[in-house]
Every structure is written in structure tokens, then in C-alpha cells.
Amino acid sequence: MEPLLILHAVAAVCAPALVRRFGRDAFLVLALPPACGFAYTLWAVVTGTPVASHHDWAPALGLGLSFRADALSLLMMTLVTGIGALVLLYCSRYFSAGEEGLGRFGGALVAFAGAMLGLVAADDLLLLYVFWELTTLFSYLLIGQDPASRAGRRAALQALTVTTFGGLAMLAGFVMLGEAAGTYRISQLVAHPPAGGTVPAALALVMTGALSKSAIFPFSMWLPAAMAAPTPVSAYLHAAAMVKAGVYLLARLSPAFGEAVPWRVAAVSLGLLTMVLGGWRALRENDLKRLLAYGTVSQLGFLTVLFDTATRGAALAGAAMLGAHALFKASLFLVVGIVDHAAGTRDLRELSGLRRSAPWLCAVATAAAASMAGLPPFFGFSAKEAAFESLLGGGLGRSATLAGVVLGSALTAAYSLRFLTGAFGSPPGREPTPLAPYGAATFLPPALLAVLGLAAAPFASWYGRAMDPYTATFAVPGHDAHLALWSGAPVPLLLSAAALAAGALLFAAGDRGARAGRLLRTIDSGRVYWALVRGTNRFAGQLTGVVQRGSLPDYLMIAFATLAGIAAFALLHGPVTTAGPVVVLWKRAEQPVVGVLLAATAVLAPFARSHIVLALLVGLTGYGTALLFLAHGSPDLAMTQLLVETLSLVAFVLVLRRLPIVPEEEQRPRVPPAVRAALGLVTGLVAAGAGVLAVNARSETPIGTLLAGPAERSGATNIVSALLVDIRAWDTLGETTVLVVLTLGVTSLVFLRRRTYALERPPAGHRRPPGRTYWLTATLPPGERAAVLEVVARMIFHTLLLVSVFLLFTGHGSVGGGFAGGIVAGLSLVVRYLAGGRYELAVAAPTGAGVLMGLGLLLSVATAALGMAFGGAPLRAFSADLAVPLVGKVHLSTVLLFDLGIYLTVLGMVQDILRSLGAELDRQIEEEAR
């Protein structure tokens, strides 16, 4: 199974290249994977079932690559792969040679075929879910194939929203089911179904997913809208494959849970409702494709009814209908595609005389439509007979179901007639539609499918026997049903005749029937959907307006109040600490001195009038904290804090240029200052209290003493850097990534209105004034020149960079590391920017900030991959000592590579901050001043 899926994936990835090379002929190549799948399925049918395989994927999650091909799966696999191959063949001539986006389309279609194959063969609920969502995603791409079409985009989004909504509900249901059963394997779950507890709720959730995927009421609106997709997509996704996924899931779980009455009654009634409503609506449609779409909705309802009746007979009829429907509906869709392209329209009010100009096409369509209407001797007839027979007997509910199904069949017969006369008839007084020629490659697939609908009928009883292993899994036999070309049972035959006659009458009634259908518009679920979407959008907008006021003080107060709330909750409900906190006031004399200064700065800060003074005071508390770290004996922390503080100060100053010097007083502060002060105090108490409690809550010996050993083994004499780049390297990698994302976020906000992120180079005329000494490549405008800074920048630039390199290398053994080195290197850029302005930054920066960050992340990830490839675990570090003549021992380690990655990333981030908060703000200020 896996090789087939891999083949699909490879074909999907290669599709754009193939299309570029061979044009639309590439579809012939792309048809190979589904064709291989078809061959495999045939082989499995011949050699006997079931074929099962299992490989562990994520055993800790109980997730495995489990595949199982039993009778039902094989039926679906046959449809998915066979029709998939035919549709791809059809595509090779359906599209015009130079059509845009064919590569993407081909890739998505093959990928969809692969996902669908995986879905019907999966024997694991979670695996099935993965494939389920993949089909949703690819269908989104396929429906929205034409990005310029608004209808296409809307339809794609609608299909995505509805099916994803169902899919998420289904996932929750799957997890509940799997937990209740203790296994996620579908075969085991069906053999020993769990009961009671959360199972009914789980089933309701799963059913929501299945119904949404199969466009059953109230989720039916997305399918007709999805007709905006190219016709091959409709033929494949909306007739044979994707919409059947929901029905397939119902059929799969029905043997186990069909006796759960609420589930059965709900599914059967919704199915009936869908069957009747869809059929009725099809009578009113003038667009051939939409007519077929509503017909599909109706038939999907029919299938739901059959599988959820949950008797052996009904399941047999369902399995037959499943195959028959795929054959005739795919064929009809493909015919519509040909008509649409050859005649230039698919509106049945405009078409005329196609019976004469395209007799073969007409014959194919007639055969398929006859199967759809249930005429003998077509396969559709056998399936419908079996359905009627299986629904005989039983109580009132069963009889009502039968009546509904007969009514639905009458409607089916009526819209089949409507389709045929509309597409191929010649209404009096209408000129014959001119018809362009169409190729054999487009004609053969629908012809083959239609012929199969006729040829399969004699083998109906064989088909029924092949389905026995599946139908036997149902506990309730129900009324006997026979699948045969001519079963001869009198009651079903009578019902069939009645349905056909009623269908003919309905068709003859024409407009009157349609007008009656228009009354049903009040429950048009498409309108309900869009009303819901609009309502959600409006609600979201209002909620955002209330919650996100754009006031930083408000956000801060919400955050602080939440913290205070958590603390209060913890105090009231948390475990009572037995030991009172032991507080050591200080261990070294520096600590109280620095502490008092720090506290004094913090007390002063709220009284600062101007932003810049406030920023400086806050910076001072940061530097003070660095001193405290140093006094406590952690130079690594102290240096990092010092560097970060410096950098934040620079960022603060750069941003504050855009703000008024003194904050504008709020007209009427929403929260009085006293409350704010109290909140601040409480927050401080909570933070300090939590710290004291956390330290005193320690009951085990600290592991710090145990770290020396592992650090030495990793070749580092500095435990902190061993922690950062080796022992907890995953954390570091994650944190670096988060930092990059944050930086990019800030940058993109600043560059919101610009198309380019690139730094502007100085314009050609921008030269220094003649006769001036000149230290850097660019200077600030004459009035703002900072000559002292220019000279100093020139003097220390390279030295700072060298120190940063030194820090990078020395981190392994003593204080330093990639992070500190990166910041120091960044500060050297800061110095040049401050002295020379934005043009100087453009010259000084070695390369784009994005390149640096990307390169850095790449290096870090490559180190991880290296460890995985050669050491068995990601990020496993290697080191080697090389003896170089004259030099002596040289210690090499992949840890250094990881650190270099961090260095580059941090340098890139600093450059990004300068580029956005510095250079771009400069440019905006200049522009506004102009």
C-alpha cells in the first residue's frame, strides 16, 4: 500500500515539471499512478481478501500506518483508482494546450487521488482522519483552480469550511471512540464495538463529519456551489470519490453501531430528506452541471439511507448503488464537460439538436442516464430493485423509509429525463447549437463508464457474492435482498414501475412541479451558511473592537489582573505549604547595595514624565539585574542580560523617535491611577512571592551538581553553554525559531505599506560634501552629523566584530556563546547605523537580514539532522580532536556549528530590527517631512 501512496506523491510533486515539459500530454503520465493502483486492486481481488499491512508510525500515540483491503475497501479502491485514471486521461484533451496553472492542477489532482486511496484503505481512525483532511485540502485547491474567479474562490472556501468543520468534529469523535475501545484500529473496533459512556456522543460527532463530507442535509449547499470547479474535478471528486468518503465511513462503522438507534434514525431521516430535496431541486436547475450536482446530493442521501438502515439486505443494495452511481454519474459529468467545451454552453435552455450532431455522445449519455433512472437492464436497475426489496417488511418506520425512497426514485427518473431532453433534445423553434469537434481521449472515458453500467448488470449476482464478506458483518439480516439482473420479485418490480411512471408524470408536469419546488427555498441551506458566515464575521469584528482596543495600558492591566487572579486562586485552592519560606537576605555585600539601587530606580520609574527617561530607568533596572547575576556568580547570565539590555535600549530609542516626548495625558483615564498602582504592587508581590515559594518548594537535591559530568562528556567546560547547545539544544532551537518569527512579525508590521523589504542604497548623487574628511561610506545630513560617532564607529567596528567571533568560540569553555556573540556583532552594526544613518547600514550589512536568519536556522537544523543521521538522535553532538603539525590539538565539534547558527540568526535579527525600526522609520519620517 505504501509504495502506491509514495508513487502518487512523487507524481504529484513532479507534475509541474512534467506539464512544463510535455504540456497537457503530461496527464497521460500522471494517469499512471492511479492505473497502478487499479492493477493492484484487481490483483488483490483475484488473490483473495483481506490484504492487511501495518507499520508503526508514532507508537507512543498509538498511531500506525495500518492498511486493510476488505470487500468494501476494494470496491472503493476500484472506483477511486479506475475512475481516477480515466479522469486524468480525459484531462489530457479536455484542457486547451496552453492553459495556465495546469501543472499545479495536475499535481493536486494526483495528490487527491493518492489521499483518497489512502482514505479508503486505512485501517486506523487517525490515519483515516489524516487522509480525510488531505482530500479536503486538495479539493480546496482543485475547486479554486481559477484564482481569478470569485465564484470559484467562494465555492472552494465554502467546501473547505464545511468539510473541515465536519472533519474536526469527526476527529473529536474518533478520539473518544478510540479511547473508549482502547484501540484505533478500525477492524478491531468494528469487531468489538465499545458501548455506553461517551460512545453516543462520539458517534454523533463522527456522523457530523461524514454527513458534511457527503453533502447530506443540512450540509448539502457546498456541493452544487463546488460546480465552479473544472468538469473533470466534478466528475472525480463530486461523483466518484470525495463525496463518497462520508458514505464510506458510514458504511464502515454501520455494522458496529447501526443498532445504536438515535444514530440510525437520525442518519436515515436526514438521508431521506436529502434524497427528496436534492431530487426536487434538480428539476429546477437549468445548468446541466448543477442539475447533476443536485442529483448527486439526492443519490448520496439514498446511499446514506441504505447503509444506515443497517441490515444485510440494505447494505448489499448500498454497496451495489455505490458502484452503479460512480459509474453513471462520472460518465454524465464527463459528457457535460464535452458538451460544454464543444457547444460553448451547458445551459439546457440554449442547447439544441445535439442528438443529431453528436449521436455517439447522445448514446453514451442515454445509457448512463438510464442506469441513473433505474431502467432495466442497467446496473442501476438491479441496485434499486435490491434497495426496494431490502426495505420491505418491518414496522411503520421502515415503510415510511420505503415510501420516501420510492418518491426519491421517481424524482431521479424525472431529472434523468430532464437532463437527456435538455442536453440532446431539439425544442421546436430553436436553432441547432453549432458543435466543435471533440477528441477520442475525452470521449472514451465516459463511454467506457457508461458501457460498464450496462455490462456489469449480468454480473450482478456475482457482485453480490463478492460483497458477502462485508454484508455478513451486519448482525441484523432484515428483509432478504437479491442482487440480480432480473430478480423477479413482484413487489419491488411494481414499485420500480410506479417510480418510473411517477417520474415520467413529474417530468411531463414540467414547470408546475418546478414551481412547487420553489416553495422549498425557505430552507435553502446555502443561504443559511452565508448568513452564518456573515454573522460570525460581524460578531468577530465586534468582539475584536471590544477586546482589542489598541491601548497598551489596557492589555497590560488585563495581563496583570489575570496573573493576580491566578495567584489568588492558587492561594485559596493550592496545597498548604508546611514549611515557612526560608529567606536569606544576602550572601555577599554587593547584593544589598545593588538591590537598594535597583529598588530606588523602580520606585522612580512611575514618576518619569517623558518616555525616554522612563526607557532609561527601565534599562537601569536591567543593568542592575545583570550586576545581581554577577554578584550571585553567574557571569553567563550577567553578560547576556547586559547585552540584551543594551540592545533593547537601542530599540526603545529608535521607536521613541516616533512618539511624542511626553505622553499625552488621557482625557479621562478609564482606570484611576491608584488602582493601577495597586495592580502593579500586587503583580510585583505575586512575582516575588512565587519566586520565594518556588525556591523553598524544592524537596529534591538540585541537579546542578550532576551536570558537570554530562557537560564534560559533551566536551564543554562551561555547563551553561553545554546546557544551551547540547543538553537542552531542542529548547534553544525552538526559542531561536520563536525569536525569528517574532522579529519577522515586527518587521512586516513596519513594512506594511511597502512592496520591498530591501534596504535602500544611497542614491547616486548622495556624496559627501567636498573637502570634508570622511570616515564611513555615508553620513547623516549636514545638520545632524555626529563626527565623533563616525570616527569612533570606524575605530571600533572591526574590533567589536572580532570580539563577537571570540565570544562565539570561547562559549564552549567559558563565558560567551553564539547568542552573546551574535548580539555583539549586531551592536557593531548598530554603531555604524547610529553614526552614518540608513544608507550606511545598507552598505555595512553583509547580506539581507532574511538571508542571515535563514542561514542560521538552516545551520542549526542541519546540525540536528546530522545528529539524527549519524548519532541516532537529533542534535546529538559529535566532536573530534585533530592533531595539526605546529599548531597542536584542534578541537572540532558540531556544537560549534549549532552555535554558529545561533550567532547568524541573532545577527540577522538585530539587522532586521535596525532595518525596520531604524532605516524604514527614518525613511517614513523623511517622507512625512517632505
Partner 1 sequence: MSRPDGDRAPRLFGRPVPPRTVAWLTVVWLLLWGELSVANVLGGLLAALAVVWLLPLPARKPALRIHPARLLVFLAVFAADLVISSARVAFWALRFGTVPPMEIVEVRLRTSSEVMAVLTVVALSALPGSLVLEARLADGELILHVLGLTGDVQGRTREDVAKLEARIVAAFGTTADREELR
Buried b / exposed e along 133-147 (16+ C-beta atoms within 10 A): bbbbbbbbbbbbbbe
Q: What is the torsional sign of CA 549, 551, 554, 555? A: positive
Q: How far apart are the first and last CA of the chain?
A: 67
Choose the binding region for partner 1 from 113-121, 566-574, 657-665, 797-805 (rule: CB under 8 A).
797-805
Please identify, among the stretches 98-106, 281-289, 365-373, 805-813, the one whose residues bind partner 1 according to the rule CB under 8 A: 805-813
Position 883 contacts partner 1 (CB under 8 A): no
Q: Determine the interface stretch with partner 1 among 364-372, 476-484, 485-493, 803-811 (rule: CB under 8 A).
A: 803-811
- For partner 1, the closer of residues 727 and 824 by Cβ is 824
Shortest spacing between CB 813 and partner 1, in angstroms: 11
For 636, residues 6+ apart whose C-beta sits below 8 A from its C-beta are: 718, 720, 721, 815, 817
The answer to whether 299 touches 329, Cβ cutoff 8 Å, is yes
Name residues contacting partner 1, limited to 342-381 (CB under 8 A): none
> Do residues 278 and 220 make contact, with C-beta atoms less than 8 angstroms apart?
yes
Report yes or no: 843 and 774 within 8 Å, Cβ to Cβ. no
Which stretch in 90-98, 321-329, 748-756, 786-794 sits in contact with partner 1 by CB under 8 A?
A: 786-794
Sign of the CA dihedral with 659 first, then 661, 665, and 669 last: positive
> Which of 797, 833, 898, 903 is close enough to bind partner 1 by CB under 8 A?
797
The secondary structure of the chain in percent helix, strand, coil, rounded to multiples of 5, reads 75, 5, 25
Query: Is 586 or 774 the residue whose CB approaches partner 1 more closely?
Result: 774
In total, the chain counts a number of residues equal to: 930
Among 579, 703, 788, 873, binds partner 1 (CB under 8 A): 788
Examine residue 761 and tell whether it contacts partner 1 (CB under 8 A).
Answer: no
Question: HEC string of 273-331?
Answer: HHHHHHHHHHCCCCEHHHHHHHHHHHHHHHHHHHHHHCCHHHHHHHHHHHHHHHHHHHH
Using CB under 8 A, pick the residue from 794, 848, 861, 879 that binds partner 1: 794
Main-chain dihedrals φ then ψ at residue 448, nearest 5 degrees:
-60, -45
Closer of 207 and 835 to partner 1 (Cβ): 835
Of 194-202, 392-400, 555-563, 804-812, the window that binds partner 1 (rule: CB under 8 A) is 804-812
Q: Which is nearer to partner 1, 37 or 856 (CB)?
A: 856
851 binds partner 1 (CB under 8 A): no
Question: Within 13 Å, how many C-alpha atoms sit on residue 386's CB side?
Answer: 32
Whichever of 230 and 816 has its CB closer to partner 1, that residue is 816
40-48, 558-566, 623-631, 800-808 -> range binding partner 1 (CB under 8 A): 800-808
Give the span between the Cα atoms of 518 and 729, in whole angstroms: 66
Q: Does 846 bind partner 1 (CB under 8 A)?
A: yes
Going from the C-alpha of 336 to that of each of 487, 568, 863, the distances in angstroms are 33, 68, 55
Closest separation between CB of residue 847 and partner 1, Å? 9
Q: Cα–Cα distance between 321 and 301 in angstroms, integer?
A: 12
What is the footprint of partner 1 within residues 480-509 (CB under 8 A)?
A: none
Q: Which residues contact 823 (CB under 8 A, 6 or more apart)?
A: 640, 643, 644, 646, 647, 804, 906, 910
Q: Which CB sits closer to partner 1, 157 or 796? A: 796
Of 441, 707, 796, 862, which one interacts with partner 1 (CB under 8 A)?
A: 796
Smallest separation, CB 830 to partner 1 (Å): 13
**Is the distance from CB of 830 to CB of 910 less than 8 angstroms?**
yes
Find the shortest distance in angstroms from Cβ 802 to partner 1.
5
The one among 42, 801, 855, 861 contacting partner 1 by CB under 8 A: 801
Binding of residue 798 to partner 1 (CB under 8 A): yes
Residue 396 or 886 having the CB closest to partner 1? 886
Tell the residue number behind the cell numbers 414547470, with chain if given: 511
CB nearer partner 1, residue 369 or residue 824: 824
CA proximity to 334, closest of 428, 426, 232: 232
The CB-of-717 to partner 1 minimum distance in angstroms stands at 15
Chosen residue from 777, 848, 862, 924 binding partner 1 by CB under 8 A: 777
Least distance in angstroms from the C-beta of 778 to partner 1? 9
- The only residue of 22, 539, 555, 806 in contact with partner 1, by rule CB under 8 A: 806
Under DSSP, the state recorded for 883 is E
Run of H or E including 898 = helix 894-913
Segment interacting with partner 1, rule: CB under 8 A, options 220-228, 598-606, 658-666, 791-799: 791-799
| 783 scored as a contact of partner 1 (CB under 8 A) | no
**Minimum CB–partner distance for residue 542 and partner 1 (Å):** 52
Q: Is residue 277 a contact partner of residue 217, using CB atoms and an 8 Å limit?
A: yes
Query: Applying CB under 8 A, which of residues 774, 865, 869, 871 lies at the interface with partner 1?
Result: 774
CB of 538 to partner 1, least distance (A): 53
Cβ-based nearer residue to partner 1, 764 or 887: 887
Q: Closest approach of Cβ 564 to partner 1, in Å?
A: 42
DSSP 457-506: GGGHHHHHHHTHHHHTT-S---S----SS----HHHHHHHHHHHHHHHHH
CA distance 251 to 147: 36
Peptide bond into 428 cis (omega under 30): no
Give strand pairing partners of 124.
185
User: DSSP characters for 322-383?
Assistant: HHHHHHHHHHHHHHHHHHHHHHS--BTTT---HHHH-HHHHHHHHHHHHHHHT-TTSHHHHH
The piece of 378-386, 435-443, 483-491, 885-893 that touches partner 1 (CB under 8 A) is 885-893
Minimum CB distance to partner 1, residue 839 (Å): 12
Q: Does 764 bind partner 1 (CB under 8 A)?
A: no
> Which residues ranging from 302 to 321 are in contact with partner 1 (CB under 8 A)?
none
Stretch that binds partner 1, among 151-159, 162-170, 519-527, 768-776 (CB under 8 A): 768-776
Residues touching partner 1, count (CB under 8 A)? 28
**Of 35, 556, 563, 791, which lies in the binding site for partner 1, with binding defined by CB under 8 A?**
791
Q: How far is the CB of 907 from partner 1 (least distance, A)?
A: 10
Helix or strand holding residue 923 (H, E): helix 921-929
792 binds partner 1 (CB under 8 A): yes
| Cα separation, 930 vs 922, whole angstroms | 12
Nearer to partner 1, 481 or 803 (CB): 803
| Contacting residue, 519, 552, 674, 886, with partner 1 by CB under 8 A | 886
CB 794 within 8 A of CB 885: no
SS3 category, 442: helix
**Any contact of residue 814 with partner 1 (CB under 8 A)?**
no
> Is there binding between residue 802 and partner 1 (CB under 8 A)?
yes
**439, HSE (Cβ side, Cα atoms, 13 Å):** 10
Residues 6+ apart with CB under 8 A from 707: 719, 722, 723, 727
Q: Which of 580, 589, 888, 930: binder of partner 1 (CB under 8 A)?
A: 888
Concatenated DSSP letters for 115-136?
HHHHHHHB-BHHHHHHHHHHHH
Asked whether position 887 contacts partner 1 by CB under 8 A, the answer is: yes
Interface with partner 1 (CB under 8 A): 773-777, 787-788, 791-792, 794-799, 801-803, 805-806, 810, 828, 844, 846, 886-888, 890
